[in-house]
Amino acid sequence: MPKGSGETDVRIGIAYDATVYDRIRGGDADPPTSVCLVVGGREVGRGRDHLRWHLGQLMSAASALLDGESAVVEFFEESEEFRFEPDGDAVETWFASDPGPEKPELTYPDGTVPDAVGDDAATEPDRSERVLADRRALVAEILSVVETFCDAVAETNPTLAESVADLRAETQSLHLAAAEFDAWGLPVRLLDTVAEPGSAARETRGGNVAATPDESRERRRTLVTSGGARVGVYDPDGRAEAAERGSRAVARIWLAEPTVGSAVGEADRRATLSDVSVGIDSGAEAFEWSGTRFRGEVVSVADGRAILDVGEGTVAFDPSDLPTVAVGDRLTVRAGRTDLRGLDVVTGPSAGDWSEDRLRGALSDRENRADAAAELARRGVRSAVPALVEALDDPLSASDRRAVVRALDVLSDPRAVDALVARLADDDEAVRRAAATALSTIGDPDALDALFDAASAETDGATRDAVVRAAREVDPTAAMDRFADVLRTSDDPRLRETVVRVLRVTDGDRAHELVVEALGDDDPSVVREAISVVRWDDDERAVPGLLRRLTDDDPDVRQEAAGAFAELGARAEHFQDGAELSEATRERVVEALIRRLDDPVSAVRSWAMEALGAQAHPNAVGPLCAAYGEESELRWNAVAALGRIGDPRAIPTVVAALDDDDPSVRRRACRASARLETTAATSPLCDRATTDPSADVRREAIDALGRLGEADARVVTAMESVLGDAPTPLRRAAVTALGRLGGPKARRLLREAAENDPSESVRERAKTGLE
């Protein structure tokens, strides 16, 4: 790969769609959305994330890159990440699709497995193709994106402004670090440069601020904005003359001939220091370099320079010009002249800096159309809706159509309904989804027929879901009647399945009744979707339909039905009316599940066993004990269910399972023994705790002994053996169990462990057990 500064065209794309703004308006300053990184026109990778969380990671990455260190930015909701590796003035970046690499299993000399494997055992994840980006451009883009997010949050929901204040402040410090301006620098936006009256005229070429060749350099002034204030600065060296208007920059502002606004004497000045807030107050004349007041706290006094923190950044002045300036003083400083001593342009102007007229004009500009539409929406310019609708009539790219439709979604204006309905037939599925979402946001009932027509014709599953959800939103009452009609008469199982999926997240008895009705559908996919809804029910209405599906011809349906009874059984005592399943219903369910213990499909048998354990009915004990003796692969399921039921008749089977050949069975048997509270398991548990080849089984056996509460000689001897030579995780489990057992013998072992164990964590836990 060639070295060098890398691509300077770096873009981080954030999908600010209607959902994002709705979440912000609702008080969420960390909405989920899609994020992508584009370098040199090539997309490095994309994923979905909680935005503030992700931007915080990007800020940490920017800080690391400025220090010449590598960085990783993970996606919170997915197993993917961006990798950044500094390479001189460039950064190698790539997209790793597997950031959680599997690590090789390690074993102790005795064959046991430790709790965790060190990072040095990690394997390298798969990587996408590496791209070389300019480090400065990448950092500038990160800071710009974070600032845009902070602006969007504060403007959309002012009550959240404080929640992003720390993120905004961090961007200021990183701007300074990127500009290599140490502690002295003020992030600004460059607005204009002018010559003083009487000097040569100023010229503007191509949007850039430029000067005529004979312009007097000593009489040039530059206008910047920072923190909402406009500041005119003396710019004799023409540092800003080549910068594009609207560019973001870091400026070193020097306050020449400073005076303290509140100084009428030392005592009075000291008395008013605590009353000074931070900020910048513009003068009456924007270009007047002596009309601005800088309010803040002195954070440094050294080498003939005092640094005043004004909130957005810092300015400097000569402390010797003022009496007794010290760190911590809060001052309001007004300068006789404001000088520009340094300037570092970090990024060009964005759509966020444009006027509304320019944004409207950009809707016909292929390069800027998407950004202009998003910015008009962000500002809430509803007067731009006709222009956005008109733009959809032009031959736009799919990405531009998506941007315009999302803008109409955010603006939520009924004038856009016809144009959005037309987009339901767009060639691009993402545009169709965005149009459906926008129609749901607007909520015009007249769009209902068009939405159902589009749902019937839709071939993409995710888009069909979006369209049906939109139909429910635009007219909830009428949509229920249409949903019932679809479930009863439509010959398209995909549409029926989508309707059930939407009913899953629809409140009301009518929606639930339709889902229960869908349990009788002829298509397995529709039935499975209905089962996935009713498994969380808090009443018995779905039970008859689920019982019928336990004998369905489709094994996946039988599996889902058995799994539903596992969930229903787990909450049988927590129904809204305070009653359990009726005894007659419960017996019917248990008998039907017992019959499924002979199902030819192991997944069905597994769920049936779990459901029987969840129902905890005594009629299931005998069949589960028999299943343990007959099963070749699911014995652990049977043992786990017996432990959950807790019936003493299961003790012989559970104790026998402590010697099973399968370690997963032995582990469940340890746990079941504790739940059954049987001392018949004490001796075999002691054997498992000290000699089992599986560390997991030993840990479960130790825990079970602690829960049985029998601190007899066998248990004490076993615990002493574990504390003598077992790995740290097992010794830690032993002192935990001893703390539960109590008694003089257990306390003796705890004292010895607290004083002599080589592991600090074991010693601390032993001390806790003694308390």
Instruction: Annotate 606-655 with three-state secondary structure.
Output: HHHHHHHHHHCCHHHHHHHHHHHHHCCCCHHHHHHHHHHHCCHHHHHHHH
* Token code pair at residue 418: 């016809």
End-to-end CA distance of the chain: 62
3-class state of residue 92 by DSSP: strand
Q: Among 175-179, 222-226, 300-304, 405-409, which stretch is predicted with the lowest mean pLDDT?
A: 175-179
Domain with CATH 1.25.10.10 in the chain: 355-474
β-strands 42-50, 32-39 pairing: antiparallel
Q: Tens digits of per-residue pLDDT, 319-332?
A: 888 878 888 888 88
> Please, are residues 50 and 69 in contact by the beta-carbon 8 Å criterion?
no
Average pLDDT over residues 682-697: 93
Distances (CA, A) of 41 to 6, 363, 370: 13, 21, 15
CA-closest candidate to residue 351, choices 312, 378, 321, 319: 378
Average pLDDT over residues 444-454: 95
Express as a percent the part of the chain with pLDDT over 90.
36
> Please, are residues 528 and 503 in contact by the beta-carbon 8 Å criterion?
no
**pLDDT at 79 > cutoff 70:** no
* Token code pair at residue 219: 């009489």
- What is the rounded CA–CA span in Å between residue 620 and residue 595? 11
> Please, are residues 227 and 239 in contact by the beta-carbon 8 Å criterion?
no
* Token code pair at residue 493: 């199982």
> Please, are residues 396 and 404 in contact by the beta-carbon 8 Å criterion?
yes
* CATH superfamily, domain at 355-474: Leucine-rich Repeat Variant (1.25.10.10)
pLDDT at residue 112, as a whole number = 39
pLDDT-derived band at 222, boundaries 50, 70, 90? confident
Q: Among 10-24, 188-202, 263-277, 298-312, which stretch is predicted with the lowest mean pLDDT?
A: 263-277
> Please, are residues 145 and 137 in contact by the beta-carbon 8 Å criterion?
no
- Could you give phi then psi for residue 451, rounded to 5 degrees? -65, -45
- What is the rounded CA–CA span in Å between residue 43 and residue 55? 18
Quote the pTM value: 0.60
pLDDT at residue 78, as a whole number = 62
Comparison of pLDDT for 7 and 288, the residue scoring more: 7
Rg (CA), the chain: 35
- What is the rounded CA–CA span in Å between residue 23 and residue 678? 53
pLDDT at residue 217, as a whole number = 42
**pLDDT at 615 > cutoff 80:** yes
CA-closest candidate to residue 236, choices 289, 286, 282, 283: 289
Comparison of pLDDT for 623 and 11, the residue scoring more: 623
Average pLDDT over residues 665-682: 92
pLDDT at residue 561, as a whole number = 93
> Please, are residues 310 and 280 in contact by the beta-carbon 8 Å criterion?
yes
- Give the range with max mean pLDDT: 61-70, 173-182, 520-529: 520-529
pLDDT at residue 201, as a whole number = 38
> Please, are residues 288 and 225 in contact by the beta-carbon 8 Å criterion?
no
DSSP labels, 678-732: -GGGHHHHHHHHHH-S-HHHHHHHHHHHHHHT---HHHHHHHHHHHHHS-HHHHH
For 228: left if phi > 0, alpha if psi spans -120 to 50, otherwise beta; the answer is left
3-class state of residue 91 by DSSP: strand
Query: Going by C-beta distance under 8 Å and a sequence separation of 6 or more, which residues neighbour residue 557?
Result: 524, 527, 528, 531, 549
> Please, are residues 33 and 17 in contact by the beta-carbon 8 Å criterion?
yes
**pLDDT at 245 > cutoff 90:** no
- Give the range with max mean pLDDT: 326-330, 394-398, 512-516: 512-516
Average pLDDT over residues 520-541: 88
- What is the rounded CA–CA span in Å between residue 244 and residue 616? 74
Query: Going by C-beta distance under 8 Å and a sequence separation of 6 or more, which residues neighbour residue 270?
Result: none
- What is the rounded CA–CA span in Å between residue 586 and residue 611? 12
Express as a percent the part of the chain with pLDDT over 70.
86
CA-closest candidate to residue 299, choices 384, 182, 455, 387: 182
β-strands 314-317, 248-260 pairing: parallel
pLDDT-derived band at 285, boundaries 50, 70, 90? low
pLDDT-derived band at 48, boundaries 50, 70, 90? confident
